[in-house]
């Protein structure tokens, strides 16, 4: 496996970016498995940062940068392209484990949130991080579009998951609370609530963002997930009307992980994107693949 980190995003013309900030409307969606709900967000009115564009470049098998396709006009109606899995390069987002000091500080800030990103009430408090069982804490490369920002302030972010002594299963990215599953309130353990099987070994929450930019959109997707023990790596890529992004991958620790992908592409129909996701075992053998429809 040849995995490298992505090169930086190209700069935009400041005047063009400012025009987009004044006029764009962001569309966001969150879902569990295949259940999809689209929620339009008026970014300028709500104070949400607007994604204004950007190009993500992949890397070939030899580590040589492969420029991403620039957006261009396509015949109407545009359709999501069918791209073979092997034609997309593989890029690792993983930057290594986080220290206990870093993970604990971020966990305390994360647990200060009252609700999770998917609307769950947070039954935990910051002090619960002190004696929680840590499942994973790793630094990941921050991609364009993360948290609604074209060029995120920090080049890396800490993704972690832990369970408090009271049984609240928590997943955080930086100080953002992604999930806070209270086993006592739900009456079922986290593991049983995931309904995992050999034929369906991954469960989690998706977040999609599509911000129009004239004829183009910056597409971003994130996936916070839980897996069967056989899975050691998860990868995702975006397919759109102009092709496919690279495969972005992360290792799976204690059956838990968080992965993202982004791509600048030409969009002519709402939801004109699909996300491929796949899983590998410890020998890098593909054992599962599926599509999430955005």
Mean confidence (pLDDT) of the chain: 77
Provide the percentage of residues in the chain whose pLDDT is more than 70.
70
pLDDT of residue 176: 96
Q: What is the pLDDT of residues 253-283, one digit of tens each?
A: 999 999 999 998 777 666 678 999 999 999 9
Q: What is the pLDDT of residues 215-247, one digit of tens each?
A: 677 899 999 999 999 999 999 999 998 899 999
> Per-residue pLDDT for 12 more than 90?
no
Integer Cα distance of 21 and 16 in angstroms: 9
Phi, psi of 61 (to 5 degrees): -65, -20
Burial of 177 (0-12, 13-18, 19+ CB in 10 A): buried
| 143 located within any domain | yes
pLDDT band at 71 (very low <50, low <70, confident <90, very high): very low
Q: How many domains does the chain have?
A: 1
| 265 located within any domain | no
> Per-residue pLDDT for 53 more than 50?
no
Read off the pLDDT of each residue in 8-35 and give the average, rounded to a whole number: 38
Read off the pLDDT of each residue in 193-198 and give the average, rounded to a whole number: 92
| 109 located within any domain | yes
> Per-residue pLDDT for 94 more than 90?
yes
| 226 located within any domain | no
Structural domain that includes position 118: 96-186
| 177 located within any domain | yes
| 101 located within any domain | yes
| 134 located within any domain | yes
Phi, psi of 241 (to 5 degrees): -70, -15
Q: Is the peptide bond before 21 cis (omega within 30 degrees of 0)?
A: no
What is the model's pTM? Answer: 0.76
* Other Cβ atoms within 10 Å of 46 Cβ, number: 8
| 239 located within any domain | no
Read off the pLDDT of each residue in 171-196 and give the average, rounded to a whole number: 94
């Amino acid at each position: 496996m040849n995995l490298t980190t992505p090169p930086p995003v190209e700069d935009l013309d400041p005047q063009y970016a400012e025009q987009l900030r004044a006029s764009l409307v962001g569309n966001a969606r969150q879902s569990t498995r295949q259940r999809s709900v689209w929620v339009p967000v008026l970014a300028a009115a709500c104070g949400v940062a607007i994604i204004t564009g950007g190009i993500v470049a992949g890397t070939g098998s030899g580590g040589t940068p492969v420029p991403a396709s620039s957006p261009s006009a396509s015949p109407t109606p545009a359709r999501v392209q069918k791209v073979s899995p092997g034609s997309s390069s593989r890029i690792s987002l993983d930057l290594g484990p986080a220290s206990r000091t870093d993970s604990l500080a971020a966990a305390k800030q994360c647990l200060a949130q009252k609700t999770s990103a998917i609307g769950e009430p947070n039954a935990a408090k910051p002090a619960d991080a002190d004696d929680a069982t840590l499942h994973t804490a790793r630094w990941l490369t921050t991609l364009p579009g993360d948290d609604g920002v074209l060029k995120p302030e920090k080049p890396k972010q800490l993704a972690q998951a832990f369970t408090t002594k009271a049984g609240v299963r928590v997943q955080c990215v930086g100080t953002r609370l992604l999930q806070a599953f209270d086993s006592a309130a739900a009456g079922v353990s986290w593991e049983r609530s995931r309904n995992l099987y050999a034929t369906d070994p991954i469960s989690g929450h998706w977040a999609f963002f599509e911000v129009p930019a004239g004829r183009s959109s910056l597409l971003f997707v994130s996936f916070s997930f839980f897996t069967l023990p056989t899975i050691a790596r998860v990868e995702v890529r975006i397919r759109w009307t102009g092709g496919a992004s690279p495969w972005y991958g992360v290792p799976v620790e204690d059956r838990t992980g968080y992965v993202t992908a982004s791509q600048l592409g030409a969009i002519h129909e709402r939801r004109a994107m699909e996300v491929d996701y796949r899983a590998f075992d410890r020998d890098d053998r593909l054992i599962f693949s599926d599509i999430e429809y955005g």
